[in-house]
Amino acid sequence: MSIKRVWVEDDCISCGSCESICPEVFEVIDISQVKEGVVFADFEAGITDAADNCPVSVIKFE
In angstroms, the CA 6 to CA 38 distance is 10
Burial call 9-31: b when 16+ CB within 10 Å, e when fewer: eeebeeeebbbebbeebbebeee
Site string (17-56) toward ligand SF4, x via CB under 6 A:
xx---------x---x---------------------xxx
**14 is an interface residue for ligand SF4 by CB under 6 A:** yes
Position 13 contacts ligand SF4 (CB under 6 A)? yes
**Site residues (CB under 6 A) for ligand SF4?**
8, 12-18, 28, 32, 54-56, 58-59
